Chains A and B, each alone.
Chain A
Amino acid sequence: AQKITQTQPGMFVQEKEAVTLDCTYDTSDPSYGLFWYKQPSSGEMIFLIYQGSYDQQNATEGRYSLNFQKARKSANLVISASQLGDSAMYFCAMREGRMGSARQLTFGSGTQLTVLP
């Protein structure tokens, strides 16, 4: 079974509008972290936002917010007021395991977001 599922291979949004990128995850570990990264066409991976499994509130970082629904095992990324520079591939990732483990990241297949002028 896929540990991280991103069901939207591609998304389009009008500039200045909000967009939600979906991510569901699968784990039996009670301690985990969820991450979103942005990858522009230049190839680097840019960290956007983090949500811990024990965090009581949804994470927010500027125009990025994470809609964390633990019971549904979903961690959707919401980008408000989209900008042309937001066009990129977006990856959801999960880190399982307690301290002392390798704490590797497992990545989803990504969503290609295109912001239209």
Chain B
Amino acid sequence: EADIYQTPRYLVIGTGKKITLECSQTMGHDKMYWYQQDPGMELHLIHYSYGVNSTEKGDLSSESTVSRIRTEHFPLTLESARPSHTSQYLCASSPDLGTGGRDTQYFGPGTRLTVL
């Protein structure tokens, strides 16, 4: 059973606002990920982290930024929200099990963001 949390679950906000989407996990996983998903579509990786102070951009270009100051916490920030940022944002984490390990990604419940 995965213990990964995201807040808020739903957010409606006006254009130009700064927002931070929170993601926390209590499993001690080193690796964490942010995905963006439009309704009914596939997930696209926008950020990932190997561990504390390690962050990388994913395949899908995003104007958001992330930080990883603590193992359990991986927040995503949009400095100036726009309607094009309207989407669902899913956070995930996985263990680093070493060679041959099955590093299943466990997902949080997601944040549905609407920018007006």
Total A-B pairs, Cβ < 8 A: 63
Q: Which residues of A contact B45 (CB under 8 A)?
A: 104-105
B58 within 8 A of A: yes
Given A103-B31, A104-B58: A89 touches B104 (CB 8 Å cut-off) = no
Stretch at the interface among A11-19, A40-48, A70-78: A40-48
Q: Which residues of A contact B2 (CB under 8 A)?
A: 47
User: Contact size class for B?
Assistant: 20 to 34
Q: Please report the total number of A residues contacting B with Cβ < 8 Å.
A: 24
Contact residues of A between 43 and 67, Cβ < 8 Å to B: 43-47, 50, 52
Determine whether the beta carbon of A50 is less than 8 Å from that of B99: no
Stretch at the interface among A21-29, A79-87, A106-114: A106-114
Nearest 10 interchain pairs by C-beta: A45-B107, A107-B42, A43-B110, A44-B109, A107-B43, A109-B42, A104-B45, A99-B99, A102-B48, A47-B104
Q: Which chain B residues have a beta carbon within 8 Å of chain A's beta carbons?
A: 2, 31, 33, 40-45, 48, 50, 56, 58-59, 88, 90, 92, 94, 98-110, 112
